[in-house]
Amino acid sequence: MKTLPYRNPVVPGFHPDPSVCRVGPDFYLVVSSFEFFPGLPVFHSTNLVNWEPISFAWHRESQFDMAGAGASRGLFAPTIRFHAGEFFITVTDVSGTGNCILRSGTPYGPWSDPVPVAQGGIDPSLFFDDDGTAFFCTNAEVDGSTGIALSVINPVTGALRSPVRHICAGTGGRWPEAPHLYKFDGLYYLMLAEGGTEYGHMETLFRSESPWGPYTPCPTNPVLSHRDAVSNPVQCTGHADIVDDGAGNLWAVFLGVRTLPGVLLHNLGRETFLSPVVQDAAGWFSIGNGGIVGLEMEGPLPGEARPYTRDWKPSYIEGKRDPHWCFVRGFDASLIHFDCTDAAVRLAFGPDISTPSGLYALALRRQEGFLCEFSARVEFPARIYAADENSGKNSGVRAGLTAYYNDSYHYDIFVYRDGVCGTNDPWRLGVSKRIHDMEAVVASVDLPESLLQVGGSGLAAVDFRIRSDTEWYVFEWKAGGTGWAELGRGKTAGLCTEGTYHMSFTGVLFGVFASGCLNFFGSEPDYPVSFSDCAYTERD
């Protein structure tokens, strides 16, 4: 088999906890999505390297209720499996449903409503034995024993068909989780993650003659870990799933992070990596080179890797919203409208994007590389607000771009008008930073009056751009034929997972937003703010 080169990560940006299955020549992948909607993105590939988004298992808001889901809550760690003509995705909704199963006859969806499974813990996975028995595996605690728990279930109804039993405690690392069961040459292999999803992350392997155990640990555990590979640009490797490519090779997908140079900080989220799996004569296996992987890889891929497409403008094929757009906790059609004729995103003024619950006028896409930029032109109703004599309704109106980790961590550039009651404030341009519980406008400039001398539409336009590297997010604007001007900047380190105040599992996304409240003359237009020419590009 020909060895072919490829680059990691194969799904860059915040795409953690990957799970993979194969049907004939087609591979399907699903990843965690936490509080973001649509959620549980499903990808397709024929070469294991180039992954196209094809559906979302959470695509109707009614499937899950995320209204109160905080940052990095929601949908954790899915597993995808194919059995008897159907695709199954198991997942934990830590904000409501708990462990559950969604189904579809095709990976393109639509996906079913979730059926709950009365087994505790997180990271559920399914294993179908040769006779069709469906085993359901989680990291649950059973009768005081922590580690991996197993039951037999009906995968369609979710009903338990056996007691839930503790089957493995792992090798002693903290938080044994993300269990996956496989059968190779008549033996049951249990692979799990230990050590936590951070810098001590690892993958360990066990096997047994019965799915219920007793399980023998692999003599070369951990089979994947960068916990001691200090200088490797890829860290935190673990949470793996294995797939057989049909040509005699095993492959692993797993999460890893690319750190900022020289420090254990990462802003791009946990990303999806790929590695060949090496099996020894006794049937034990390890991932990569003795558990180590890199950015530049090679292996007997099922097809040649194509270059990763790095430039993005939203597509509106057949009137469908571009699959890269996502939203926090759900989509509010009264706040966001995608105009499929001119590729504009139109927004109403929504709640402050630091509000820890509810929906926003905010459309996001993931940051997928360190060196990149995100830009858009905002058109806003500069001339159609009412002088705010007594209502106090014009409060903190903002419309612009954001580099957004979550509601507590984001840097924004925007046009704004303070609208303090009784005054008629000017429109300004501002950059603000929200870190922990602190938020401040750190730079501002009056919007040149000439830009507000607009025609009958009452709209003025400003171009915004966020440029990112491993040290800074730089916020720039231009308007009225001038060149780009920097208004402010924020440290990349400020939007890194390690600095956030609770268990954080996501990464930075770029977005367009509108917030606050404008008091309009006459009737308020449905979506007063429009963003056109949205674009994301990466550079070397």
> Contact positions toward ligand 6LW, by CB under 6 A?
16-17, 32, 76-77, 122-123, 177-178, 193, 197, 239, 255, 505
Closest by CA to 275, choosing from 248, 247, 258, 255, is 255
What is the number of other CB atoms lying within 10 angstroms of the CB of residue 218?
Answer: 21
Spatial CB neighbours of 74, under 8 Å, sequence gap ≥ 6? 33, 34, 35, 36, 39, 64, 66, 93, 94, 95, 329
HEC per residue, 337-372: EEECCCCEEEECCECCCCCCCCCCCEEEEECCCCCE
Q: Closer to ligand 6LW at the Cβ: 193 or 363?
A: 193
Residue 236's alpha-carbon distances to 7, 16, 48, 112, 343, in angstroms, are 18, 11, 21, 33, 38
Provide the minimum distance between the beta carbon of 92 and ligand 6LW in the complex, in angstroms, as a whole number.
7
> Which position among 35, 61, 93, 177 bears the catalytic label?
177
Q: Closer to ligand 6LW at the Cβ: 197 or 375?
A: 197
Instruction: Yes or no: say if 523 and 438 are a contact pair by the CB < 8 Å rule.
Output: no
Would you call 17 a catalytic residue per the annotation?
A: yes
SS3 assignment, position 183: strand
d(CA 255, CA 9): 9
Provide the minimum distance between the beta carbon of 516 and ligand 6LW in the complex, in angstroms, as a whole number.
33
Q: Closer to ligand 6LW at the Cβ: 193 or 361?
A: 193
Spatial CB neighbours of 436, under 8 Å, sequence gap ≥ 6? 408, 409, 501
Q: Closer to ligand 6LW at the Cβ: 17 or 368?
A: 17
Provide the minimum distance between the beta carbon of 222 and ligand 6LW in the complex, in angstroms, as a whole number.
14
Would you call 526 a catalytic residue per the annotation?
A: no
d(CA 435, CA 329): 21
d(CA 33, CA 219): 34
Q: Closer to ligand 6LW at the Cβ: 41 or 430?
A: 41
d(CA 127, CA 132): 9
| Token code pair at residue 421 | 């009651």
Provide the minimum distance between the beta carbon of 397 and ligand 6LW in the complex, in angstroms, as a whole number.
36
| Token code pair at residue 395 | 């409060």
Q: Closer to ligand 6LW at the Cβ: 95 or 394?
A: 95
d(CA 119, CA 136): 9
| Token code pair at residue 321 | 């919203």
Closest by CA to 259, choosing from 44, 493, 456, is 493
Q: Closer to ligand 6LW at the Cβ: 32 or 50?
A: 32
Question: Quick one: CA dihedral 335, 346, 405, 506, positive or negative?
Answer: positive
Q: Closer to ligand 6LW at the Cβ: 201 or 433?
A: 201
> Which position among 17, 61, 379, 407 bears the catalytic label?
17
CA 7 to centroid of chain Cα atoms = 20
Provide the minimum distance between the beta carbon of 325 and ligand 6LW in the complex, in angstroms, as a whole number.
22
| Token code pair at residue 215 | 């399980």
Name the DSSP letter for residue 260: P
Provide the minimum distance between the beta carbon of 505 and ligand 6LW in the complex, in angstroms, as a whole number.
4
Provide the minimum distance between the beta carbon of 228 and ligand 6LW in the complex, in angstroms, as a whole number.
18
Provide the minimum distance between the beta carbon of 33 and ligand 6LW in the complex, in angstroms, as a whole number.
10
Closest by CA to 150, choosing from 95, 196, 192, is 192
Q: Please give the residue whose beta carbon sits closest to ligand 6LW in the complex.
A: 197
Provide the minimum distance between the beta carbon of 29 and ligand 6LW in the complex, in angstroms, as a whole number.
15
Name the DSSP letter for residue 216: E
d(CA 175, CA 215): 18
Q: Closer to ligand 6LW at the Cβ: 77 or 415?
A: 77
d(CA 3, CA 300): 4
Catalytically active residues are 17, 177
